[in-house]
Amino acid sequence: MIFGLICGMLAPFIAILVYWLMQFHEMKLSEYLSHIIVYKLISPALSLSLIINLGVFFLFLQKEYYQSSRGVLFATFIYAGIILLAKVGVI
């Protein structure tokens, strides 16, 4: 389950980095992240990056790594809490 949790926490972050490299490579990563924070784009960016967890979840299910798939699901719930806090305005 720990392996799935780690994969579920890292995959959305990697997705954000890949998006930055593809679309905003002329910007520094720190500038891109501050842009997301200043314009309150944290929840949309995290929501879109969580789509990759769906693929990781089903990959683990297909390989019958059920405990790892539970870890990915748990990581997704953690991100959902962060997104909820960002929408409410706590973050």
> Which one has a higher pLDDT value, 90 or 79?
79
Q: What is the mean pLDDT of residues 12-29?
A: 92
Find the length of the chain.
91
CA–CA dist 38, 41 (Å, integer): 8
Can you read off the two tokens belonging to residue 22?
Answer: 């593809």
Stated pTM of the model: 0.84
pLDDT of residue 64: 94
φ, ψ for residue 86 (rounded to 5)? -70, -40
